[in-house]
Amino acid sequence: MKKRLLTILSVLLTLTIALGGCSGRKAGDSSRITVGIPQDLEDSLDPHKAAAAGTREVLFNVFEGLLKPDVNGDLIPAVAKEYTVSEDGLTYSFILREGVKFHDGSPVTAEDVKYSIEKSAGMTGEESLIAAFSNISRVDKVSDTQVDIVLKENDVDFPAYLASVNAAVIPAANAAPDVTPIGTGPYKYVSRSPQENIIMQRFDDYWGEKAYIKDVEFKVEAGDAMIMDLKGGSIDMCARVSVTQVKQLGDEFDMYEGSMNLVQALYLNNAVKPFDDLKVRQAMCYATDTQEILDLAFDGYGAPIGSSVFPAFGKYFIPELADKYPRDIAKAKELLKEAGYPNGFDMTITVPSNYIPHVDTAQVLVQQLKEVGINATIDQVEWNTWLSDVYAGRKYESTVIGVDASSMTAEALLGRFYSKADNNFTNYSNPEYDKLYEESKVTLDDSKRTELFKAMETLLAEDAANVYIQDMAEFVPMNKKYEGYVFYPLYVQDIARIKLK
Amino acid sequence: MNIKSFILKNKRLAIGGSITAIMVILAVTGLFFTPYDPNAMDISAKLSGISPRHIMGCDNFGRDIFSRVLAGLSTTMVVAVGTVFIGIVFGTLIGAFTGYYGGYLDEIMMRFNDAVLAFPSLLLALVFISVMGSGKLNVTIALGILFIPSYARIMRGEFLKCRNLDYVMSARLMGASDMRIMFVHILPNTVRVMLSTIAIGFNNAVLAEAGMSYLGIGVQPPDASLGRMLSEAQSYLFVRPGYAVCTGMAIVLLILGFSMLSEGLEKNA
């Protein structure tokens, strides 16, 4: 009797599990996708407080600013239909698009826009995440459909900052934007379980092209567990997978290949000996072989670069600079001799230990530099130590790292080499460069500015400010059920473009 | 008792001894000679399998794994020996004084000892490394310091046990100085315990070095160490399982050999 009961129970239990699995599977097959993300959204769901790039890339689906970036990184109107700039360049007038609704159904009004920009700029007492917004003098509601933003000083890059998630338009009536985030994006926020997931649903009243997939779950999963989940089928896609992990996945997935949009280089502290000598820096450039680094540490993937601009900045990128210093051991040795180091020298490469690609790159560099007599040793440090000692403290000789652009402005990449810049962690200093930079700040004509930026980019290469290596390749494995993943030149995951095959 | 029957009687000692002997020979070889430069990279040999040219294959940089295992073995062994040496020398000194004299000195030192032991050792090692910087020498010093408390505790127990034994009493009656009693009379009688502690400590040191290098705070790349190699091999577990197996086996054999040797010695001492 007891045994029979047990049998019935176990059959029932099996059925429950099996059928439960069935129903879940069915809904999954219709229109839902699970996206793996490497970190939880711990900072805030309030777009104006989302400091981490990993948070912003998820919130990008929920929020929009007056403008937003398209897949090329160009600015397209979003909540605003169009905008005009006054002749003195100080007043930006935005005409609001009609029929834009928040996720709670209420229409976007000029008050909401004024409130959002003021909140984002820190004018309501909160800290602003966009430094350039301190330049805003006031925000005026001109009419029900027009909002004017008045600047204190000229800033040609100002519209680019408005496209950031940190400048999103949110309803003024929402008392708790970090608990119940409401935006105007193609997806609306449903729920979040800390350390587990964040769930979104398609917003059917979206003003633009609506999303294809109805339910989206962003699942928090770390490291190699992500690969296991992909293989097991509980995650459908995830971004920024390394070459090694791609190998583990095999061809069960559609693999989208893009680039990380950063400048990976052996950054040299231009203020310490011997790197204050141009000849030494050039010798190091001649001593290294980018293609060999790519072949050895990255399976041949990655785009070689020769200055502090990566290819996604099509307008400013000069591809020829990558070939400026081909590998030439004899020349490198000669330059070292001229600089007074006929027998080479000892140096340290500081690398954050959590970024394996950078550690691998450093290992190849050590071997390549050895051939010209430079004896490099690697010092692995923790990420926080790297940030405080190398980046903020500038107490280092050289480091391998990737530097990205916080916004789609040339300023974001080239501004850090201005000798007085706060984030000039390489201590690069060249009066000629400073002159070009200062000129670019006050030039309004776009083609003239582009010329200036290109001149700065070339100067960095000629000065061999750093040993530039590559823009690293990234891979997005996606379940073969889906298609349509698009890469942005910014840190963004656009789920709205993904659809079922 | 001749050697043959001695070995037959004590298989552990024989097997452990021979494994250890082989590993030590390999490690010493690794210090002076490897088939290839353990750090030389070769694109064409990237992740190549076992072949006559590379008897254990090559890693993701095309470096000969066998050469790296040899070099890694000697690195790991040097660190382990250094660690145990620091630990046993200072541990014995502290243990001798606290155990022999007792009193306040003993109380204070042992509570301090407890405090150090209360922290996870890897965490303390991390603190040491972040203060002193990484590198082979610093890893050895950091691990050595971490090993002192446990040695001190064991040695203290031995000295405490011996200080009132008859032979110590008679030495004292003969007017021997405290120093002479501690290090000439008592110390030789603690050798048996010391040997087994050294053996256990050696194994722990090998594992600790491997663990620290695995976490990236031990031996710095591109220098080979068994732990560092194991951590690199992890990414290629599916592509080239041989990489992790060869490296892991070296660690396993090293520890197995030494454990058996020490157990055998203990039995026979």
Give residue B83's identity as a one-letter amino acid code: T
Identify the band that residue B85 occupies on the pLDDT scale cut at 50, 70 and 90.
Answer: very high
Distance (Å, rounded) from C-alpha A263 to C-alpha A358? 12
Residue-wise pLDDT for A76-90, tens only, equals: 999 999 999 998 889
pTM for this predicted structure: 0.78
Which of A248, A364, A385 is the closest to B130 by Cβ? A385
Residue-wise pLDDT for B120-173, tens only, equals: 877 888 888 878 877 788 889 999 988 899 999 999 999 999 888 899 889 889
Distance from CA of A353 to the nearest CA of B (A): 6
CB contact (8 A) between residue B134 and residue A366: no
Measured between beta carbons, the chain A residues lying within 8 angstroms of B236 are: 244, 247
SS3 B223: coil
Taking CA–CA distances from B241, the nearest residue in chain A reads: A248
- Any B CB within 8 A of A243 CB: no
Q: Is the dihedral of CA B132, B133, B139, B140 positive or negative?
A: negative
Cα–Cα nearest to A315, from A195, A205, A447, A186 = A447
Residue A139, pLDDT above cutoff 90:
yes
Which of B46, B216, B238 is the closest to A353 by Cβ? B216
Got the DSSP string for A367-433? HHHHTTT-EEEEEEE-HHHIIIIIIIT---SEEEEEEE-SSSSHHHHHGGGSTT-TT-TT----HHH
pLDDT, mean of residues A465-474: 93
- Any B CB within 8 A of A363 CB: yes
Cα–Cα nearest to B134, from A392, A265, A350 = A350
- Structure tokens belonging to residue A246: 């791609």
Residue B7, pLDDT above cutoff 70:
no
Measured between beta carbons, the chain B residues lying within 8 angstroms of A363 are: 61, 221-222
CB contact (8 A) between residue A363 and residue B221: yes
Give residue A417's identity as a one-letter amino acid code: F
pLDDT, mean of residues A190-209: 93
CATH class, range A262-471: alpha beta
Q: Considering the domain A67-167 in this protein, what is its CATH number?
A: 3.40.190.10
Which of B62, B221, B236 is the closest to A244 by Cβ? B236
Distance (Å, rounded) from C-alpha B257 to C-alpha A188? 62
SS3 A120: helix
SS3 B177: coil
Q: Where in chain A is the domain with CATH 3.10.105.10?
A: 262-471
CB contact (8 A) between residue B61 and residue A295: no
Give Dmax (Cα) for chain A. Answer: 96
Q: Where in chain A is the domain with CATH 3.40.190.10?
A: 5-61+185-258+474-500, 67-167
Which of B130, B133, B221 is the closest to A359 by Cβ? B221
Distance (Å, rounded) from C-alpha A156 to C-alpha A287? 40
Q: For chain B, list residues whose CB is within 8 angstroms of any CB belonging to chain A.
A: 39-41, 43, 46, 60-62, 130, 133-134, 215-217, 220-222, 235-239
Beta strands A80-85; A91-96: pairing state: antiparallel
Residue spans of alpha helices (H) in B33-184 = 65-101, 103-118, 121-132, 136-162, 166-173, 178-180
What's the pLDDT score for residue A171?
94
CB contact (8 A) between residue B220 and residue A244: no
Mutate to test the interface with A, among B129, B131, B235 (most CBs of A within 10 A): B235
CB contact (8 A) between residue B238 and residue A248: yes
Got the DSSP string for A282-328? HHHHHH--HHHHHHHHHTT-SEE-SSS--TT-TTT--GGGGGSS---
- Any B CB within 8 A of A249 CB: no
- Structure tokens belonging to residue A42: 């711990």
- Structure tokens belonging to residue A407: 């916004």
Are the C-beta atoms of A46 and A181 separated by less than 8 Å? yes
Measured between beta carbons, the chain A residues lying within 8 angstroms of B231 are: none
The DSSP H or E segment spanning B53 is none
Cα–Cα nearest to A235, from A36, A12, A80 = A36
Residue B62, number of CB atoms within 10 A of its CB: 18
CB contact (8 A) between residue B235 and residue A366: no
Measured between beta carbons, the chain B residues lying within 8 angstroms of A354 are: 216
Cα–Cα nearest to B218, from B131, B120, B143, B117 = B143
Cα–Cα nearest to B193, from B83, B78, B99, B74 = B99
Range from A427-436, B44-53, B92-101, B153-162 carrying the lowest mean pLDDT: B44-53
Its ipTM equals 0.77
- Structure tokens belonging to residue A408: 């789609």
pLDDT, mean of residues A457-476: 93
What's the pLDDT score for residue A110?
94
Measured between beta carbons, the chain B residues lying within 8 angstroms of A248 are: 237-239
Identify the band that residue B2 occupies on the pLDDT scale cut at 50, 70 and 90.
Answer: low
| Cis peptide bond upstream of A274, omega within 30 | yes
CB contact (8 A) between residue B239 and residue A367: no
Residue A378, pLDDT above cutoff 60:
yes
Distance (Å, rounded) from C-alpha A93 to C-alpha A105? 26
Measured between beta carbons, the chain B residues lying within 8 angstroms of A377 are: 220
CB contact (8 A) between residue A377 and residue B220: yes
Distance (Å, rounded) from C-alpha B265 to C-alpha B249? 24
What mean pLDDT value characterizes chain A? 88
- Structure tokens belonging to residue B175: 């007017």
User: Which CATH number is correct for A5-61+185-258+474-500, 3.40.50.1100, 3.40.190.10, 3.40.50.920, 3.40.50.20?
Assistant: 3.40.190.10
Provide the percentage of residues in chain A whose pLDDT is more than 70: 94
Distance from CA of A360 to the nearest CA of B (A): 9
Cα–Cα nearest to A477, from A248, A218, A310 = A248
How long a stretch of residues is chain A? Answer: 501
Identify the band that residue A23 occupies on the pLDDT scale cut at 50, 70 and 90.
Answer: very low
What's the pLDDT score for residue B1?
53
Which domains are seen in chain B, by residue range? 8-267 (1.10.3720.10)
Burial of B72 (0-12, 13-18, 19+ CB in 10 A): buried
Which of A248, A353, A363 is the closest to B222 by Cβ? A363
What's the pLDDT score for residue A22?
43
Residue-wise pLDDT for B176-234, tens only, equals: 888 898 888 888 888 888 888 888 888 888 888 888 887 777 888 888 888 888 888 88
CB contact (8 A) between residue A244 and residue B235: yes
* A vs B: CB pairs below 8 A: 57
Q: Is the dihedral of CA B101, B105, B109, B110 positive or negative?
A: positive
Beta strands A398-404; A375-381: pairing state: unpaired
How long a stretch of residues is chain B? Answer: 269
Residue A23, number of CB atoms within 10 A of its CB: 9
Distance (Å, rounded) from C-alpha B58 to C-alpha B71? 14
Burial of B159 (0-12, 13-18, 19+ CB in 10 A): buried
- Any B CB within 8 A of A295 CB: yes
Distance from CA of A370 to the nearest CA of B (A): 10
CB contact (8 A) between residue B43 and residue A295: yes
Taking CA–CA distances from B43, the nearest residue in chain A reads: A296
CB contact (8 A) between residue A353 and residue B60: no
What's the pLDDT score for residue B238?
76
CB contact (8 A) between residue B61 and residue A364: yes
Distance from CA of B85 to the nearest CA of A (A): 26
What's the pLDDT score for residue A374?
94
- Any B CB within 8 A of A291 CB: no
Chain-centre distance for alpha carbon A55: 11
Measured between beta carbons, the chain A residues lying within 8 angstroms of B238 are: 247-248
Which of A296, A354, A380 is the closest to B62 by Cβ? A296
